[in-house]
Amino acid sequence: MPNLSTTYAKLTLRTPVIVASAGITGTVERLQRCEENGAGAVVTKSLFQKEVCRIAPTPRFKIVKHENTFTLYSYEQASELNPQEYAEFIFKAKQKLSIPVIASINCYTDDAWLEYSKLMEQAGADAIELNLSCPHGVHIMSGMDVIEEMVHTTKLVKSNVKIPVIPKMTPQSTNPGSDALRLDQAGADGLVMFNRFTGLDIDIEKEAPILHGGYAGHGGPWAIMYGLRWISAVAPKVKCSISASGGAMNGEDVVKYILAGASAVQVCTTVILNGYGVINKINKYLEEYMERKGYNTIDDFKGKVCSRILDMDSVDRTHWAVAKINKEKCTSCGKCFTVCIYDAIEKDDGKFKVNQNCDGCGLCAELCPVKAISMVKRGEV
C-alpha cells in the first residue's frame, strides 16, 4: 500500500490533507472529527487581536452560482475566544489529538504578535500559521502593504518561538512568486499558497452588497488554477515546503497540487459543503492514484509537472488542427455556428459542416453539447 505521509514545515503528516482554518476547526470536537476522518493535520480557526472580529454576523455564508461553477462567499470572521481561552483550546486539542495542531493567529501590533505566538508555543501548538492575509481581516481591509507586514512578522515571530512559523499568503499581489521568495528568505518554515480572495457581490434590486453589507472572502473550485500556476513556479525555487490552499474539492485536485510541488494541501470549502467524510474520500483517491501510477511515496511525484511547463518561446504554435463535425451525432443546435469568430461553420442539409476558414482554435469542440465535433489534423477532414 502506498505511503501517504509527507513532511510539511518540518512536521510529519500521515497524509497531505490538512483541514484549513475555519469554523470547521473551531472546537476540539470538530478537530477530532477531522482526525477521525483522516486529516494529516489541522489549522485552528484564527485568533484575532481585533476584538470586533470575534463576533461574526449571521447569516454569513452565501453560495453564489455561476454558469459552470460557484463561489462560497463568506464573512466568517475569527474565533470567539480571547487569547487565554484560545491557548486553553490549543492545550486541550493537543491532549485529544495525535495529528499536528497548527495555531492560526492574526495580529496588527508587534507586541501582540510576540504575546500570541509565545502563548501558542506554550500551549503546545505544533506550529503557527500567520494569517495576515484574511480576506476580511485588518491587513487587507485597511490597505496595509501586506507583503511587507508579512516579511516583518515572519522574522519577528521566528525570533520569538522555536516551533515552525508559516505565513499564509494572499493571492491579491502583483507578484506572488517574488513574495514567496522573500518569505522563504525571511525564515518561513512553510508557506500557505493561498488564502481566499476579497470579493464583493451585489443585490441589483436592493442596489447594495449582499449578506452583511461589506466585502467578504470568496473562493471555490475555480481558484485551483491560480494556485497551481504560482506553486509550480515557486516550488523549485524555495527551501521551505508549501501547503496549497484554494479550490481543492476532491482527490484529483489534491493530486494536481502535489504534482505542482505542494507538500500538503489544505481543504476547507469541500468540508463545509460535503462534511468531514470527504477527507477519507480524498485519501482513498490518492492511494488509488499512487497504486495505479506505481508511486510508493508522495515525493515520488511531488513537483513532477514543474519541469514540464513550457515557457512562451517553447510553446508549439503550429496550426496543425481543424474541427470536424460528425453529422450523425450533430443535433443542429447551432452552438458551433454561434461561437465561431472565423465564419468556419456553415449549414449543410440541415446540419453543420466546417469550411476552409477553420483556424483550429478548438472552442466549438469544447462547447458542443453532444460531443459531435473533434479536432483532427489538417488534411484529414
pLDDT tier, 144 (very low <50, low <70, confident <90, very high otherwise): confident
Q: Would 314 be classed as within a structural domain?
A: no
**Last residue of some domain: 252, 268, 300?**
300
Mean pLDDT (the chain, rounded) = 96
CATH (domain of 138): 3.20.20.70
Q: Are residues 325 and 296 in the same domain?
A: no
Task: Using a pLDDT cut of 90, give the percent of the chain over it.
Answer: 90
- On whether the CB atoms of residues 171 and 199 are closer than 8 A, the answer is no
Q: Are residues 275 and 341 in the same domain?
A: no
For 92-104, give the secondary structure using H, E and C.
HHHHHCCCCEEEE
pLDDT (tens digit, 9 = 90+) per residue, 112-131?
Answer: 999 999 999 999 999 999 99
pLDDT (tens digit, 9 = 90+) per residue, 155-200?
Answer: 999 999 999 999 999 999 999 999 999 999 999 999 999 999 999 9
Q: Are residues 164 and 15 in the same domain?
A: yes
Q: Are residues 87 and 46 in the same domain?
A: yes
pLDDT (tens digit, 9 = 90+) per residue, 288-320?
Answer: 999 999 999 999 999 999 999 999 999 999 999
d(C-alpha 164, C-alpha 183), whole Å: 13
Q: Go through the chain and tell me how many residues it has.
A: 381
Q: Are residues 291 and 351 in the same domain?
A: no
Q: Are residues 281 and 363 in the same domain?
A: no
As for how many domains the chain has, the answer is: 2
pLDDT (tens digit, 9 = 90+) per residue, 188-235?
Answer: 999 999 999 999 999 999 999 999 999 999 999 999 999 999 999 999
- Give the number of other Cβ atoms within 10 Å of residue 52's Cβ: 9
Whole-number pLDDT of residue 81? 97
Whole-number pLDDT of residue 206? 97
Q: Are residues 85 and 232 in the same domain?
A: yes
Q: Are residues 186 and 62 in the same domain?
A: yes
pLDDT (tens digit, 9 = 90+) per residue, 225-266?
Answer: 999 999 999 999 999 999 999 999 999 999 999 999 999 999
Whole-number pLDDT of residue 158? 98
Whole-number pLDDT of residue 381? 63
**Last residue of some domain: 245, 268, 300?**
300
Confirm whether pTM is higher than 0.85: yes
Residue 42 in this model has a pLDDT that exceeds 90: yes
Q: Are residues 91 and 148 in the same domain?
A: yes
Q: Would 311 be classed as within a structural domain?
A: no
- What's the domain range around 331? 321-377
Whole-number pLDDT of residue 289? 98
Q: Would 84 be classed as within a structural domain?
A: yes
Q: Are residues 203 and 346 in the same domain?
A: no
Q: Are residues 110 and 163 in the same domain?
A: yes
What 58-62 contacts at long range (C-beta under 8 Å, 24+ apart), as own/partner pairs, is 59/211, 60/211, 60/212, 61/272, 62/201, 62/210, 62/211
Q: Which three cell numbers stand for residue 84?
A: 487565554
Whole-number pLDDT of residue 349? 87
Residue range 351-374: mean pLDDT, rounded: 96
pLDDT tier, 68 (very low <50, low <70, confident <90, very high otherwise): confident
Q: Would 312 be classed as within a structural domain?
A: no
Q: Reduced to 3 states, what is the DSSP secondary structure of residue 126?
A: coil
